[in-house]
Amino acid sequence: MFLLTLFFLIFSSSLPDTSMTDCKGVQVTDKLVDWGYSKPSVEKREIKAIIIHSSYNALSPDSFSLRGVIKEYKEAGVSPHYIIDRQGDIFRLVPDKYVAYQAGKSKLPDGTTSVNEFSIGIEIINTKNNGPTAAQYSSLAKLVRCLKFKYPIKYILGHSDVAPDRKTDPWQFDWKRFNAMIRKR
Ligand SMILES: [Zn+2]
């Protein structure tokens, strides 16, 4: 029995672990909310876009307070799927399978207007004057690569790309740097 187990361990570890290939090292902490999302209208929603946002806490002097930002979402009845704090810690607020209220009235390049239905929203905690930290870029890149691996993602866009007349976030976001990071193997 021992040998059989050993054999299995050796054999299975030599197989490429495709389920984890691009999600390795992505640590996500659940902090699920009970507002700001709904079940999709179809059994399994199609996820073809990732929308990147910025948020800060405008309610107290600590602009980077995760608690404060989440409180703001609650008051507005909105939520992203994921939020990344200044230390680069990733929190899941809404499971991927649900439609999170993050993009609002917006449009994808292919003309899709119900963007929430077809996308995953990721918020980075940063202000208009303070861009994302190195830790946030690193975590975001890992998370996006993982999501790209799981879903047929066609677009990775900023909120301002899908709602240019209403939104300016993500602020101070270095797309060149980010794009180079998600291409890196
Ligand atoms: Zn936004």
Condensed to tens digits (0 to 9), the pLDDT of residues 37-82 reads 999 989 999 999 999 999 999 988 999 999 999 999 999 999 999 9
> Within a domain: residue 12?
no
> Within a domain: residue 2?
no
**What's the predicted TM-score (pTM) here?**
0.88
User: What is the C-alpha separation between 171 and 159, in angstroms, rounded?
Assistant: 10
pLDDT tens column, 2-24: 555 555 444 444 444 444 457 88
> Within a domain: residue 44?
yes
Please state the domain count of the chain.
1
> Within a domain: residue 6?
no
Q: What is the CA radius of gyration of the chain?
A: 18
> Within a domain: residue 132?
yes
Determine the distance separating the centroid of ligand 1 and the alpha carbon of 154, expressed in angstroms.
19
Cβ-proximal residues to 60 (8 Å cutoff; 6+ apart), any chain: 68
Determine the distance separating the centroid of ligand 1 and the alpha carbon of 158, expressed in angstroms.
8
Determine the distance separating the centroid of ligand 1 and the alpha carbon of 159, expressed in angstroms.
5
Question: Domain containing 149: what range?
Answer: 23-183
Could you confirm whether 123 is annotated as catalytic? yes
